[in-house]
Amino acid sequence: SIVFFLPVAFFFFRSAAEVRLHLIWGIVFCFMQNFNMAVVPVEALAGKPVIKDVTISHGLDEVAAEFAFAEQALNPDLVLTTDYRTASLLSLTMQRTDDMAMGYRVAMIDFWIDPAQHKGADALVLVYDRFPETELITKNFETVTTVREFTITRYGADLESYKLVHAQNYSGQGDH
């Protein structure tokens, strides 16, 4: 993107020092963004509230391990999450394509799945802070039981809290 800026940079920068400062700031910003997404959110290290869209990408292996352990013990018919993003990340991490999202936001998965086909099924649901267990789950399943709660922690900072819920006897009504 800097290549397109170079022909007009002459009009914006008055000296070579300004160009160098701009390039240094760009490199620092890229490093901070990569560190924030790959290692730990900088806000968490500073003790500030963390933007929740950043934290769901941390600890995916731990989430997958907890999920696999609970899935092996319960042997559910359905694998659900309360948000399409966690469904996507869980699918990517666990290398599976049978997980679904049950939430208020319409996602493509809502068009691919026929809820009536899963009537009476039991599900293991991954719930997290930003999209907690909603009435969608409690109204669409006969019984809902918390299996396990766990928190993803990096360098002493709690990033995201998850809950695994065993939901039994799906009504087949869909999520909207």
pLDDT (tens digit, 9 = 90+) per residue, 10-55?
Answer: 677 778 888 788 889 989 999 988 888 788 887 777 777 767 677 7
CA distances from 14 to 5, 23, 25, 28, 175 (A): 15, 15, 17, 22, 58
pLDDT at 57 over 90: no
Give the 3-state secondary structure of the chain. CHHHHHHHHHHHCCCHHHHHHHHHHHHHHHHHHHHHHHCCCHHHHCCCCCCHHHHCCCCHHHHHHHHHHHHHHHCCCEEEECCHHHHHHHHHHHCCCCEEECCCCCCCHHHHCCHHHHCCCCEEEEEECCECCCHHHHHHEEEEEEEEEEEEEECCEEEEEEEEEEEEEECCCCCC
Residue 131 CB contacts under 8 Å (≥ 6 apart), including other chains: 81, 82, 83, 86, 103
Least confidently predicted of 48-57, 69-78, 82-91: 48-57
For the entire predicted model, the pTM comes to 0.75
